[in-house]
């Protein structure tokens, strides 16, 4: 596998990321349980055994409980902190007494969010902080000041974004002196518009691509690490019940199974290998809490698809031949 852009800043970053969205129990204000803590221990142990040292959080995951149970793991095993890379995101606020669900990239909220994230995780610093969603009211010059304060205080080492296009990144970077080193997006075999953006150039169908034209190339040219959430397509091609799905989805799932047998690996590994083989060196974020499935995903680092098989998967999942 090629070196990923994030390894220019975090040389020991693993090729895969463990996404902690499923930790902490329910998405409500009920307290987390000992069972939730045990699951967090199991997830961390399995990830480390699979060579994954990069852990992705967000302040909203299970209403903050994902970070809290991860903090319990670090409390029990403080030596882990220097062995792992911790990432979290901020900027989404749920409906409350002050307003509806909204995005908030004001400097006050960014700094308050980071302080709360560090408290829940029980650590002094984040390796990476991502702005979770673009805020229509964001003011880059004020975000820049917040980033300066967070970095000078030693609370955040690197910064990035999530769900942003190149125009938003460029606007932010025009004011922020630290390089924005990550962009986390929904990229997968079932959400392949990042590939369609390139192959449909010069055709009438290019207008229907749900992806900002040129974003992948922009990130590659600027050494911005693309991370993929939803990278397994919610199990669509690796074991999920396909009742009601269109024919091309069934055909892709069959092809994935055939390739898994041929490459002597898991279906999950085939789905991830397709994504990871793209020259953008995408980092998948694995959100499963199932130990066996996580191990199946980790097999992707050992799979190199042939060019023909990569295209077979792409053409099958798009449901028609290339232009």
Q: Averaged over 70-76, what is the pLDDT?
A: 98
pLDDT-derived band at 95, boundaries 50, 70, 90: very high
With a cut of 90, say whether residue 164 has pLDDT above it. yes
Q: Is the pLDDT of residue 263 over 80?
A: yes
Question: Is the model's pLDDT at 1 over the cut of 70?
Answer: no
Output the CA torsion 268→269→274→278 (10° steps). 130
pLDDT of residue 203: 84
Contact 22, 289 (CB under 8 A): yes
Q: What angle do CA 282, 319, 232 make, to 5 degrees?
A: 35
Q: How many CB atoms lie within 10 A of CB 258?
A: 14
Mean pLDDT (the chain, rounded): 96
Residue 295, number of CB atoms within 10 A of its CB:
17
Q: Is the pLDDT of residue 105 over 60?
A: yes
Contact 63, 36 (CB under 8 A): no
Tell me which residues are annotated as active site: 61
**pLDDT surpassing 70 at residue 65:** yes
Contact 296, 284 (CB under 8 A): no
Share of the chain above pLDDT 70, in %: 100
What pLDDT digit, counting tens, does each position of 112-137 carry? 999 999 999 999 999 999 999 999 99
Q: What is the mean pLDDT of residues 6-28?
A: 97
Residue 8 pLDDT class (50, 70, 90 cuts): very high
Share of the chain above pLDDT 90, in %: 93
| pLDDT > 90? residue 240 | no
Confirm if 82 and 12 have CB atoms less than 8 A apart. no
Non-local (6+) Cβ contacts of 71 within 8 A are 120, 121, 122, 123
Q: What is the model's pLDDT at position 297?
A: 98
| Per-residue pLDDT tens over the stretch 188-228 | 999 999 999 999 888 877 777 778 999 999 999 999 999 99
Residue 71 has pLDDT above 80, yes or no: yes
Q: What is the dihedral of CA 162, 253, 265, 183, to 10 degrees?
A: -10
């Amino acid at each position: 596998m090629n070196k990923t852009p994030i390894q220019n800043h975090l040389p020991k970053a693993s090729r895969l990321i463990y996404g902690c969205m499923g930790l902490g129990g329910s998405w409500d204000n009920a307290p987390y349980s000992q069972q939730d803590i045990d699951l967090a221990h199991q997830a961390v142990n399995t990830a480390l055994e699979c060579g994954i040292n990069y852990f992705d959080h967000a302040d909203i995951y299970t209403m903050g409980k994902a970070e809290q149970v991860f903090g319990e793991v670090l409390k029990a095993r403080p030596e882990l902190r220097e062995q792992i890379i911790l990432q979290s995101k901020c900027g989404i606020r749920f409906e409350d007494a002050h307003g509806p669900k909204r995005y908030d990239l004001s400097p006050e909220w960014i700094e308050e969010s980071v302080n709360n994230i560090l408290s829940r995780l029980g650590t002094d610093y984040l390796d990476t902080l991502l702005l979770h969603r673009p805020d229509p009211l964001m003011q880059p010059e004020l975000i820049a000041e917040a980033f300066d304060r967070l970095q000078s205080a030693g609370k955040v080492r690197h910064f990035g974004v999530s769900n942003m296009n190149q125009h938003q990144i460029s606007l932010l970077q025009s004011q922020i002196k630290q390089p924005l080193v990550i962009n986390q997006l929904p990229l997968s075999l079932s959400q392949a518009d990042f590939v369609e953006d390139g192959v449909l150039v010069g055709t009438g169908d290019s207008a229907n691509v749900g992806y900002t034209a040129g974003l992948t190339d922009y990130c590659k040219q600027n050494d911005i690490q693309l991370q993929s959430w939803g990278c397994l397509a919610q199990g669509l091609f690796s074991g999920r019940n396909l009742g009601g799905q269109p024919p091309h989805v069934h055909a892709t799932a069959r092809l994935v199974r055939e390739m898994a047998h041929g490459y002597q690996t898991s279906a999950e590994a085939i789905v991830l290998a397709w994504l990871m083989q793209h020259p953008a060196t995408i980092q998948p974020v694995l959100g499963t809490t199932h130990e066996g499935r996580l191990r199946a995903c980790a097999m992707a680092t050992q799979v190199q698809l042939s060019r023909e098989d990569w295209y077979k998967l792409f053409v099958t999942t798009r449901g028609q031949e290339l232009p």
